[in-house]
Amino acid sequence: MPDPGPDPAAGAPPDFDAGQEASWAALLRAPLPHLDAQHFAALHAVTETGKWAGLRLEPTREVKRSLAPWTRRFGAMLPMLTARHAAADELLDDPEGARQWLEAHPQLCAAVPVLDDLLIAACAMEARTAAPAVKEAAGQLSYAAADLVLAACERWPLAQVAWADHKNRPTLRLVAQAIDRALARADDARAERWMRWMLARDPQDDHGWREELRILLLRQGAARRGDPGQGGEAGEPR
């Protein structure tokens, strides 16, 4: 189900500098020129795992070593369970430093840990400001990251990418972030596509997408005055 995120009613902290909005947006846009499927595939290993009867998608060992300075300086806290928000104070406090680091290491902009950190930070940014530039940049980054994950798994159309495998959680969180934003924007086509993918790849449905997809299909059916859900595609709620 969608993650409500931090309470927006709390508003911005007293020392909030509205000038940071442009820096936050610039940070979220920094990886966009480097997000292509071929580059993403080069940074990550997709392995078949007998334990989970599926796939594990994670950065290669070399990429993990290269990301150590980023993680030490800018890494966000891990969200609890299937939540998508957590503390990312270093990225919020020093967006220019993070952007400069990414500009100096463009080959790492498409790494899952970087995208995960940035999108966790984006949740905190959006809780503090309604600036259109921040929301637009967060949406662009989130949508692009989700499409990279789907493209990376295309060679294994029937394999699961289990949330139960902790190595997959940052990767699956990227898709969950995109679903949240698509639902919030009433971007039904993308939300439906990504929820079906999540249900097919993680049929245990740890995120609760089956009910969200059912609601979306019912709403679409009511709008069309037709049947909201028939057929048997993988991932469709039963």
Read off the pLDDT of residues 41-50 as tens digits, 9 standing for 90 and up.
999 999 987 7
Q: What is the pLDDT of residues 99-128, one digit of tens each?
A: 999 999 999 999 999 999 999 999 999 999
Q: Which two tokens stand for residue 32?
A: 């966009």
38: in domain:
yes
Task: Mean pLDDT check: name the lowest of 41-55, 58-72, 125-139, 180-194.
Answer: 41-55
Does residue 220 belong to any structural domain of this protein? no
Whole-number pLDDT of residue 231: 34
Domain assignment present for residue 216? The answer is no
| Mean pLDDT lowest among 30-39, 50-59, 65-74, 118-127 | 50-59
Q: Give the pLDDT confidence of 205-227 residue by residue, as tens digits.
A: 999 999 999 999 998 887 775 55
State residue 238's pLDDT score.
38
* Structural domain contains residue 1: no
Kindly tell me if the per-residue pLDDT of 95 is higher than 50: yes
Q: What is the pLDDT of residues 185-204, one digit of tens each?
A: 999 999 999 999 999 999 99
Token pair for 11? 């508003």
54 lies in a domain?
yes
Quick one: pLDDT at residue 11? 47
What the block records as the tokens of 23 is: 């820096």
> Going by DSSP bridges, is the β-strand pair 44-49/54-59 parallel, antiparallel, or unpaired?
antiparallel
The rounded Cα 237 to chain-centroid distance in angstroms is 22
> Could you count the other beta carbons within 10 Å of the beta carbon of residue 109?
20
Per-residue pLDDT, 158:
84
pLDDT over 70, % of the chain? 85
Q: 45 forms bridges with which residues in the sheet? A: 58
Q: Which pairs from 202-205 meet CB under 8 Å and 24+ separation?
A: 202/160, 202/161, 202/162, 202/163, 202/172, 203/160, 203/235, 204/162, 204/163, 204/164
Residues with Cβ within 8 Å of 127's Cβ and at least 6 positions away in sequence, in order, are 5, 6, 7, 8, 10, 85
The 10s digit of each residue's pLDDT in 141-189 is 999 999 999 999 999 888 999 999 999 999 999 999 999 999 999 999 9
Structure tokens at 95: 């967006």
What is the pLDDT confidence band of residue 58, given thresholds at 50, 70 and 90?
very high
Residue 222 lies in a domain: no
Of 3 and 217, which is predicted with more confidence?
A: 217
Strands (E), the chain: 44-49, 54-59
The per-residue pLDDT for 196 is: 97
Q: Note down the domain range covering 196.
A: 19-208
Closest CA to 70 of 123, 22, 115: 115
In a domain, 14, yes or no: no
H runs (alpha helix) in 75-131: 89-93, 95-104, 112-128
What is the count of structural domains for the chain?
1
- Tell me what the mean pLDDT of segment 5-11 comes to: 50
Residue 155 in any domain: the answer is yes
